[in-house]
Structure 1
Amino acid sequence: MGLFLEGVDKLLTPPYSFEILHGLCITGEITVISLTLAVLIGMILTILRLTDNTVLVKIASFYILWQRNIPVLVHVIFWYFGVSNLLPEGIQSKIQNWGGEVIYSSIAIGLCMSAYYSEDLRSGLRSLSQGQREAARALGMTPFQSIRHVVLPQALRNSSPSLINHTILLFKNTSLAMAIGAAELTYTIREIENNTFLTFQAYSIATLVYLIISLSLMLLSDQLARHFRIPQR
């Protein structure tokens, strides 16, 4: 036990503590970017599936089917080694200078998770009666206005637990970015472990960090559910 604590103390002091903090910041950066992308595209997919245009509905449905049935790691590798090579060399160089590993992994994770967010929103929509949209149309709203002001807000409320759960999954999936060399938390911990040979201590710290953040998101989910719960009369 003493050796374990000594190892932990060593890893929690500079320079290793700074490296861990930097890795956590990169993890947060990937999480924020991919989450923003996933939410925006998820909403767009949901709106497309609500339209009366059969072509748009099929395109959205195919996109969701494609993203949900391919592992996230494959998406990350596909974007970094595949899609990146299709871009002009000038653009490739600029992206790499800005942090290509972070950008490509964020895009891959965001696009993949957008399919899950869309399904969550769709489940929330199914809980609403058709009369909601009809009432909005009766008040003079356009189909887009009825979706934006009436349908989507209620769908978000109803699907918030699932959305938070998938947000936790998205956060954990950021560790897959290490496969393409993104210096996020897991990658940093592995590098520290290779340099210090403190395997158990290093991965114990990583496990604790992921656990604390995941549990915090779960607590946030519970608080949001209570805040947005419709009071019973």
Structure 2
Amino acid sequence: MPLFDYSMLLRGAYHDMLVAGLLLSLQLAAATLVFALPLALLVALLRLAPVAALRWIGFGFVESIRNIPLLAHMLFWYFGAPELLPDAVKAWLYAGNIEAVSAVIALTLYTAAFMAEDIRSGIRAIPPVQFEAGRALGFGFLATMRRVILPQALRITVPPLISQTLNLWKNTSIATVIGAAELMYQAGKVESASFRSFEAFGFATAAYLTVSLVITGLAAWYQQRYPVRPA
């Protein structure tokens, strides 16, 4: 038996399983990003809202999500939350791909909580006089944010958001605990079926590293192309 069997990674059933896992991991990351970004923006605005009750809602969301491990979120949304639903709805969910859905919900909430703080920091980096100028022009809070503050703040926030995207990509591996057939799950199945641990987990390691380096390269390119200058 060869020391490293390249053939199982290049073709055949094991190759198909690993590639399917990689594709699902990428889909989990992409779907989470689509939902997490607008949620993070909403939470950041809540945390800066002029109404105290809204600020407390934003604060409660961030602190309650960030201070619970992602593993606990995964297990709750897969095992716990469906138990609160009617039996018919629960049966419908379990008949579908509830593992992927639960993973996206957990990842979205968890990622949005961290991204919200990055966006809030970007907004607070804008000089307060610009907000005051917007209000002096007759804009309300939301209009001032949309027309004056956010276009500048989001540019500042892009590098940390890309960093959070890198964390998101690595966090997709935790979905394996609820049976989502992502990359780590498929690597484990291949290892169990073939007893070729090095090949199975070597593929997973190389895939995570490659995508992570692409995201890191994107962040470096953005910082070089659009350097943040003092306001």
Q: Tell me the TM-score normalized by structure 2.
A: 0.94
Report what 1:177 is aligned to: 175
Residue ranges of structure 1 left out of the alignment (5+ in a row): none
Report what 1:76 is aligned to: 74
Q: Which runs of 4+ in 1 moved over 4 A?
A: none
Q: How many residues align?
A: 230
Residues 1:11 and 1:104: Cα distance change in structure 2 (over 3 Å): same
- 1:153 CA displacement: 2.1
CA distance in 2, matches of 1:148, 1:116: 21
- 1:231 CA displacement: 7.0
Identity, % of aligned positions: 35
CA distance in 1, matches of 2:146, 2:94: 37
- 1:38 CA displacement: 1.5
Within the candidate set 37, 52, 62, 1:64 is matched to 62
Q: Tell me the TM-score normalized by structure 1.
A: 0.93
Residue ranges of structure 2 left out of the alignment (5+ in a row): none
Report what 2:203 is aligned to: 205
Q: Is the 8 A contact 2:75 2:178 kept in 1?
A: yes
CA distance in 1, matches of 2:169, 2:180: 14
Q: Is the 8 A contact 1:26 1:185 kept in 2?
A: yes
1:80-95 to 2 correspondence within 5 Å?
80-95=78-93
Within the candidate set 33, 36, 59, 1:35 is matched to 33
Q: Is the 8 A contact 1:8 1:202 kept in 2?
A: no
Within the candidate set 10, 16, 22, 2:14 is matched to 16
Q: Is the 8 A contact 2:25 2:183 kept in 1?
A: yes
1:160 aligns with 2:149: no
- 1:40 CA displacement: 1.5
